[in-house]
Each structure stands twice: as C-alpha cells, then as structure tokens.
Amino acid sequence: MPASFFGSGAMGIDVDQITADVAFEQFAETVVFNGREVQGIPSRELVTLDGYDGMVEERTTLEIKLADVGQIRGDMPVQIRGKSYKVDRPMTDGSEFGVASKVLLRWA
C-alpha cells in the first residue's frame, strides 16, 4: 500500500471513523437520547460499580456517536425499545478515538 494510505491530511483515512460507521450501520437502532432520535448500539454488560467494593452488576449500556449527541452528562433521559433510562455515567469519554462513547444506563 502507498505510504499516504494511512497518512494524515487529505490523503489519509480515518480508520476510527470508518470502523464506527460500519459498526453503527450493522448494529445500531433508533433510540431517543436527551429528546433527540439518534442511532445507538444498546447492550447488556457486566460492569463493576464504583464505590461498592468492586460490586459487579448486569446493566444496560449504550454506544453512541459523539457527533450526534454532543456532551454527555449524568441523568440525561434515554429511551430504548420503549423503556426509559437515564445516563448513570459515561463509561468512555470518546477521547481515545473521538468518534463514539459508551454510557452506563439505569432505570428512570
């Protein structure tokens, strides 16, 4: 492959953005995040809760594109498949790739 294939600038390819686009194309569904319909990837995961001496709990999480939602804060309302949740906390802030973030949800 030519050196410009992975380079920066106009000739570079944003692999993170392409990967996120493909994942969202294949797995995302319409959710309502803070009053706006956006595409997100909901899942159930085992997570370690802070402040509970490493307590593990099965919780709903949502992978969402930062460009669709802007800044993510706790207590933002989320609706998935007719069920109401609130953002408990962001699990990732998107700073690693700058494309998507995963949030931990709790029942509203």
**Domain presence at residue 30:** yes
**Domain presence at residue 6:** no
Comparing 2 with 8, the larger pLDDT belongs to 8
**Domain presence at residue 3:** no
DSSP string, the chain: --GGGS-SSTT---HHHHHHHHHHHHH-EEEEETTEEEEEEEEEEEEEETTTTSEEEEEEEEEEEHHHH-S--TT-EEEETTEEEEEEEES--STTTSSEEEEEEEE-
**Domain presence at residue 7:** no
What number is the average pLDDT over the span 32-36? 97
**Domain presence at residue 4:** no
**Model pTM?**
0.80
CATH code, domain carrying 90: 2.40.10
Give the tens place of pLDDT for each residue, 38-69: 999 999 999 887 776 778 899 999 999 988 99
Question: Of 58, 73, 63, nearest to 28 (Cα)?
Answer: 63
**Domain presence at residue 36:** yes
**Domain presence at residue 50:** yes
Give the tens place of pLDDT for each residue, 71-101: 899 999 999 999 999 999 888 766 656 788 8
Domain that holds residue 23: 12-107
**Domain presence at residue 1:** no
Domain count, the chain: 1
